[in-house]
Amino acid sequence: MKKLNRKYKVLVLLPLGVSGTKTLCEELYQDKNSFNDVEFIGINYDRKVKIAERELSAETLKEREKLKRILKEYISSKNFDLIHINTEEIPRDLLDFLISKYKTVYTVHAIRSYHYLLPLDNVKDNLTEEILKLVNSKNVIEEIDISTFVREEIRKTIDLNKDQERKLFDYILSTANQKYLLENADESVYVSRHVQDVAKQQFGIRKGIVINNGTGLFEDFEKQKDWFLKEAVSYRRNNLKRNSIVVSYIGRINRCKGVLDLGKVFEEVSKKDETLYLYLVGPSEDIFLERYFEDRIKENKRIRWIEKEKGVDRKGVITYYLISDIVVYPSLREAFGLTPIEASSLGRLTIVRKI
């Protein structure tokens, strides 16, 4: 990395619970000669925030307003030189505050697509087009605009429960936020040329630069190779039969990642081969999948879900890769999936869906 004229104080905003994005940013800012102080805050709109290992949550409107106020006051007190935004799950008034007060860089990890709507039943074929038409019709989309759109347009044809309505609202808001950030951040960075092309297709925006994504997981493994191998061997000896074959999925558990298809395929294949085990390693983001796999785990002890609540740290990820005989990556849509690269760099047989 080119040495900067002075050390910078940086705030990195991350999607709450997504370890891969945090790992990428930790690697980016590890140069202590250029960055004096780097803080990470995980955020999920105005409902959950993680500051300095302290997680705050809010449910009522009053609590959510208080949470935003706490966050603004905290950021204001720190005198950051740069705000590095890695998520669209940010309340609009907080985004306005950040854009108006600070130098901002927005890293575009993926462009929101219709796959984010898969948890909704009976989705209209042209719903994505209707949402993009709404988002592109105004310079600023307020939350009241989204509420009106959901009430007057969507409910006419789709019967939504409260959870589905919230997910749809979040999808529209994050899509609007993505367009807003692409237009207003001081710099936009795409993790692949494909992401930049999709941004142009959906929003008519190509502003920004492409820096292809990457990972230093293999380098970490090489530094402590003996320790990691010992951990993996010990785990298999204590938790698995000698001839077991471990098939793993490592990442966030949601339907966009194709995990439901993986579960169904494993159910059929495991009936024919009792040596097969399925390991799901990562946090849950979908209540339907939670229930689906909880039922399957009760019936089949060879299905195991590791760290469902919080996910695993960097060392844990390496260890579970090494435990695995096969790493499966069935994602329905990806801008730049790190899992196949990480698994391959550690010598694991990797199967991916053709997308």
Give the mean pLDDT per block of 10 residues along the chain (355 residues).
Answer: 64 82 77 78 91 89 93 94 93 93 91 58 62 75 76 70 78 88 93 82 86 65 87 93 92 84 91 92 84 90 80 80 92 67 80 75
Q: Closest Cα to residue 29, out of 73, 82, 104? A: 82
Domain count within the chain: 2
pLDDT computed for residue 27 by the predictor: 74
Domain's final residue, options 58, 88, 109 = 109
pLDDT computed for residue 330 by the predictor: 85
* H or E element at residue 42: strand 35-44
Query: Cβ of 61: how many Cβ atoms within 10 Å?
Result: 9
Asked if residue 145 is part of any domain, the answer here is no
Q: What angle (nearest 5°) sits at the alpha carbon of residue 12, between those of residues 8 and 15? A: 175
Domain's final residue, options 68, 94, 109 = 109
Print the domain residue range for 252.
217-352
pLDDT computed for residue 326 by the predictor: 93
Asked if residue 170 is part of any domain, the answer here is no
The pTM is what? 0.65
pLDDT computed for residue 168 by the predictor: 79
State the CATH number of the domain containing residue 45.
3.40.50
Q: Report strand pairing: 187-190 vs 103-108.
A: parallel
Asked if residue 317 is part of any domain, the answer here is yes
Note whether 12 and 20 are within 8 A (CB): no
Q: Closest Cα to residue 334, out of 44, 14, 111, 23? A: 111
Kindly report, residue by residue over 211-245, the tens digit of the pLDDT: 766 556 666 777 888 999 999 999 999 999 889 99
Q: Using CA of residue 125, residue 128, residue 132, residue 135, what is the dihedral sign?
A: positive
Asked if residue 132 is part of any domain, the answer here is no
Burial degree of 217 (CB within 10 A; 0-12, 13-18, 19+): buried
